[in-house]
Amino acid sequence: MHITGLCWSGGWGGPREAGPPRPVASVSGAAMLIRMSAWRRTGGFQPRYFMYHEDVDLCWRVRLTGGDVVFCPEATVRHDYTFDRGSRKWFFLERNRVWGVLANFALPTLLLLAPLLAATEVMIVLRAAREGWLPAKVRAWREIARSRGELRAWRRQVQGARTVPDRVILGLMTGRFDPALAESRPVALLNPVMVAYRHMLMAVLR
């Protein structure tokens, strides 16, 4: 999970990881087990999401309320799935990502992240225009604006339940985009900058 809320399948296309369970920022909902106590403590999935990013958001809130999220390399799960990049999927991915970032980060963290979040939005708009799903991105912004009252109420609920500071959460996130999923010269040039930005952010939030 990236500090901008962008997520991807870690290790995609590479050899299977071996080793003991380890802490992570999030795990896939296609292969997730959650304790009922954590489900009740967090309130479960955010109902507005419908699909995509709901697993990331739930893991994020489990972390915020003092729970653990653990990846088990030895687990084997078969998931029948077709990777579709239709505009409807991009709408849900972008709306839910931005909603999660605005609800789950504390205000000081959001302010410090604002330049990087704004730059990310610009890059996503450029990609959306190039790939033909810009209307879905615009629709995601409109939906967030229309539901801003609901978002504010949800944010108050999330922040009121948190027991863990953002510095701990950011320690499990990455500042580097996975080149296997976003291999390009701009990404290669930006990665060192984003990694440095994350280090700066964690130092300021110490």
User: If 0-12 CB within 10 Å is exposed, 13-18 middle and 19+ buried, where does residue 101 land?
Assistant: buried
- Taking alpha carbons only, the member of 63, 133, 62, 46 closest to residue 98 is 46
> In the chain, where are the structural domains located?
22-73+86-173
Q: Please give the pLDDT value at position 11.
A: 77
The model's pLDDT over 110-148, given as tens digits with 9 standing for 90+, comes to: 999 999 999 889 989 998 999 899 999 999 999 999 999
> Is pLDDT at 181 greater than 60 in this prediction?
no
Q: Where are the beta strands (DSSP E) in the chain?
A: 22-23, 70-71
Structure-token pair, residue 198: 């994350």
Q: State the DSSP code for 31.
A: G
The model's pLDDT over 19-68, given as tens digits with 9 standing for 90+, comes to: 999 999 999 998 899 999 999 999 899 988 888 899 999 999 999 999 99
Tell me, what amino acid is at 135? P
> Within its chain, how far is the Cα of 173 from the centroid?
9
The model's pLDDT over 3-14, given as tens digits with 9 standing for 90+, comes to: 999 988 877 778
Q: Please give the pLDDT value at position 10.
A: 78
Structure-token pair, residue 8: 């991807």
Please list, in sequence order, all residues whose beta carbon lies within 8 angstroms of the beta carbon of residue 187, skipping any fewer than 6 positions away.
177, 179
Structure-token pair, residue 93: 């991915």
> Is pLDDT at 94 greater than 90 in this prediction?
yes
The model's pLDDT over 161-175, given as tens digits with 9 standing for 90+, comes to: 999 999 999 999 999
Cα–Cα dist 127/185, whole Å: 14
Cα–Cα dist 45/22, whole Å: 23
Tell me, what amino acid is at 51? M
Average pLDDT, the chain: 90
User: Of 70-84, 98-112, 117-131, which one has max mean pLDDT?
Assistant: 98-112
